[in-house]
């Protein structure tokens, strides 16, 4: 049975303490901030930003925020300089001394743009959806769509993707995302950030996320701590927290302990 990580802090201490470095991966919407109907209306709280700032300035901790938002949007929303940002579920990554973009995704960008134009017609057909252009990907938000029409919308998208090729549909909380057919996902992004720290194999890994796309990390991260934010059933995570408020509590606890972490020799 999954345990609330706030009730398992002794176990987390035992996991972190022997490590030379800690990589803390975090989703954004639904994890650092509550989900809002309109993504542009979301703002990170001052306390949450302060905690991230404190943790990111530690020599032996790397903060990686991995989100479906575009890279520029994510950087603007968080606004911290010592954090690694991965936008579009990891298709483009930027941080101190780091820069990576998925070349295969760039090569499929024209197909994504064609799909976006076609989906504008769907917005006229399905009242209550709106499109969010994120350049390398785009989202179709359907929080205000009649639930009876969600399946029809999905089938329309599925047919479009099948006709265009080189695209996949990712599902999230009241959102469908049109994504280039590439191997990059949140897990590969998190793993890449970890490898940039050095060859030290004694690196601790903790990842918190609430969305379906975070399950890619939970499913594949065998040597780390995976924390589901929200509904914990049917998740590959090994711990959970209830909501972003408890995420903040966990980050506050992390910020108050050094765990005896030693800087990596690399």
Question: C-alpha angle with apex 144: 156 to 134, nearest 5 degrees?
Answer: 65
The pLDDT of residue 96: 95
Same domain? 86 vs 51: yes
Same domain? 247 vs 149: no
Which domain CATH number covers 144? Answer: 3.30.70.1020
Categorize the per-residue pLDDT at 262 as very low, low, confident or very high, splitting at 50, 70 and 90.
low
The pLDDT of residue 198: 78
Within the chain, how many helices (H) and strands (E) appear? 9, 13
264 assigned to some structural domain: no
The pLDDT of residue 265: 44
- 251 vs 29: CA distance, rounded Å: 16
- Measure Cα distances from 216 to 3, 195, 229, 233, 237 in Å: 20, 18, 14, 15, 10
Which domain CATH number covers 28? Answer: 3.40.50.1000
Residue 56 has pLDDT above 80, yes or no: yes
Same domain? 87 vs 113: no
Same domain? 64 vs 188: yes
Exposed / middle / buried, residue 52 (Cβ in 10 Å: 0-12, 13-18, 19+): buried
Any residues with CB less than 8 A from the CB of 82 and at least 6 apart, and which?
53, 56, 57, 63, 96
- Per residue in 202-218, pLDDT (tens digit) is 899 999 999 999 999 99
* Percentage of residues in the chain having pLDDT higher than 70: 97
Same domain? 162 vs 53: no
- Per residue in 64-75, pLDDT (tens digit) is 999 999 999 999
Average pLDDT for the chain: 93
- Per residue in 16-26, pLDDT (tens digit) is 999 989 999 99
Mean pLDDT throughout 87-116? 96
* Percentage of residues in the chain having pLDDT higher than 90: 82
Domain assignment of residue 62, given as a range: 3-101+184-255
Residue 264 has pLDDT above 60, yes or no: no
The pLDDT of residue 166: 94
Domain boundary pick from 121, 155, 180: 180
Sheet of 167-172: strand order equals 130-133, 138-141, 175-180, 167-172
Domain boundary pick from 159, 180, 201: 180
- Per residue in 133-188, pLDDT (tens digit) is 999 999 999 999 999 999 999 999 999 999 999 999 998 889 999 999 999 999 99
Categorize the per-residue pLDDT at 200 as very low, low, confident or very high, splitting at 50, 70 and 90.
low
Same domain? 27 vs 90: yes
The pLDDT of residue 17: 92
The pLDDT of residue 225: 97
Q: Compute the residue count for the chain.
A: 266
- 227 vs 213: CA distance, rounded Å: 13
262 assigned to some structural domain: no
Residue 228 has pLDDT above 70, yes or no: yes
The pLDDT of residue 22: 95
Residue 266 has pLDDT above 80, yes or no: no
pTM for this entry: 0.92
Domain boundary pick from 180, 201, 218: 180
Mean pLDDT throughout 94-103? 96
* Choice between 264 and 120, residue whose per-residue pLDDT is larger: 120
- 155 vs 161: CA distance, rounded Å: 10
260 assigned to some structural domain: no
Same domain? 176 vs 251: no
Residue 263 has pLDDT above 80, yes or no: no
């Amino acid at each position: 049975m999954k345990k609330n990580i706030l009730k398992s802090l002794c176990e987390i201490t035992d996991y972190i303490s022997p490590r030379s470095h800690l990589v803390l991966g975090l989703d954004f919407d639904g994890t650092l901030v509550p989900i809002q109907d309109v993504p542009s209306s979301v703002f990170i709280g001052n306390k949450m930003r302060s905690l991230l700032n404190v943790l990111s300035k530690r020599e032996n901790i790397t903060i990686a925020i991995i989100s479906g938002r575009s890279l520029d949007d994510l950087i603007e929303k968080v606004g911290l300089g010592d954090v690694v940002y991965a936008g579009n579920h990891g298709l483009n990554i930027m941080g101190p001394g780091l820069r990576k973009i998925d070349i295969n995704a760039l090569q499929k960008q024209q197909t994504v743009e064609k799909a976006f134009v076609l989906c504008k017609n769907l917005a006229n057909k399905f009242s209550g959806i709106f499109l969010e252009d994120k350049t390398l990907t785009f989202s179709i938000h359907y929080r205000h769509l009649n639930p009876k029409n969600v399946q029809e919308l999905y089938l329309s998208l599925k047919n479009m993707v099948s006709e265009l090729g080189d695209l996949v549909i990712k599902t999230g909380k009241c959102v469908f995302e049109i994504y280039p057919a590439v191997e990059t996902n949140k897990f590969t992004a998190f793993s890449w950030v970890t490898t940039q720290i050095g060859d030290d194999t004694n690196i601790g890994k903790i990842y918190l996320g609430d969305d379906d796309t975070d399950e890619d990390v939970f499913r594949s991260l065998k040597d780390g701590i995976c924390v589901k934010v929200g509904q914990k059933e049917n998740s590959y995570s090994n711990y959970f927290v209830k909501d972003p408020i408890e995420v903040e509590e966990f980050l506050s606890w992390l910020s108050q302990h050094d765990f005896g972490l030693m800087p990596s020799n690399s």
